């Protein structure tokens, strides 16, 4: 089993080099393959305003309205009439307002506590005024308003999913 140390050393280095080369040739494409979704919009909904509800159905007390997209592209699939999220609608002297039901803290769905007259997140107890203003709890900002228009007596809402966390409002 005795042989020249130089030869053995060469064999060891060559073996590791070949093995490393194979590994790198697989690893490099694998990483770009796995990171494909990063920075890509893999889920996109049709962007036109969504017909939510008749305007005269909305009063001073907030009403929860589900918002459905006409079309949703999700990676390979294309689906029609898909729920995207929900909005809380309410009317005051200045008109109708829409708030995203997504808690700005970590994305749970906020509910309306009638007795306390405020929005409450069921997860971490963030509380928000009827206007959406932040009252207490871990959320760093108030509920996110959604743009709306009223056409032929129907409330048309543009759905935006905002990034959760932080005090500034940015679309996700």
Nearest to 99 by CA among 141, 145, 161, 61: 145
Non-local CB neighbours of 150 within 8 Å, separated by 6+ positions = 55, 96, 156
Candidate segments 26-34, 110-118, 128-136, 159-167, binder of another protein by CB under 8 A: 26-34
Cβ atoms < 10 Å from Cβ of 9: 10
Which of 41, 78, 115, 172 touches another protein by CB under 8 A?
A: 78
Nearest to 70 by CA among 50, 40, 93: 50
**Strand, helix or coil at 98?**
strand
CA–CA distance, 2 with 134 (Å, rounded to integer): 79
- Give yes or no for residue 21 binding another protein (CB under 8 A): yes
- Give yes or no for residue 70 binding another protein (CB under 8 A): no
Give the nearer residue to another protein in terms of CB position, either 38 or 60: 38
- Give yes or no for residue 15 binding another protein (CB under 8 A): yes
Give the nearer residue to another protein in terms of CB position, either 75 or 172: 75
Candidate segments 49-57, 73-81, 128-136, 148-156, binder of another protein by CB under 8 A: 73-81
Q: Which two tokens stand for residue 73?
A: 């592209």
Question: Footprint of another protein on this chain (CB under 8 A)?
Answer: 1, 3, 8, 11-12, 14-15, 18-19, 21-22, 25-26, 29-30, 32-36, 73-80
């Amino acid at each position: 089993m005795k042989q020249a140390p130089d030869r053995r050393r060469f064999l060891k280095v060559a073996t590791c080099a070949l093995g490393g080369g194979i590994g790198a040739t697989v690893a490099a494409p694998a990483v770009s393959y796995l990171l494909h979704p990063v920075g890509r919009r893999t889920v996109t909904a049709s962007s036109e305003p969504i017909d939510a509800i008749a305007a005269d159905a909305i009063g001073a007390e907030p009403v929860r309205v589900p918002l459905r997209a006409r079309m949703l592209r999700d990676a390979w699939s294309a689906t029609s009439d898909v729920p995207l999220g929900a909005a809380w609608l309410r009317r005051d002297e200045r008109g109708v307002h829409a708030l995203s039901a997504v808690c700005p803290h970590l994305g749970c769905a906020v509910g309306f506590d009638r007795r306390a007259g405020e929005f409450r997140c069921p997860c971490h107890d963030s509380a928000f005024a009827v206007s959406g203003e932040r009252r207490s709890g871990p959320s760093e900002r108030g509920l996110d308003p959604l743009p709306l228009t009223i056409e032929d007596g129907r409330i048309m809402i543009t759905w935006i999913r905002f990034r959760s966390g932080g005090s500034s409002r940015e679309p996700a």
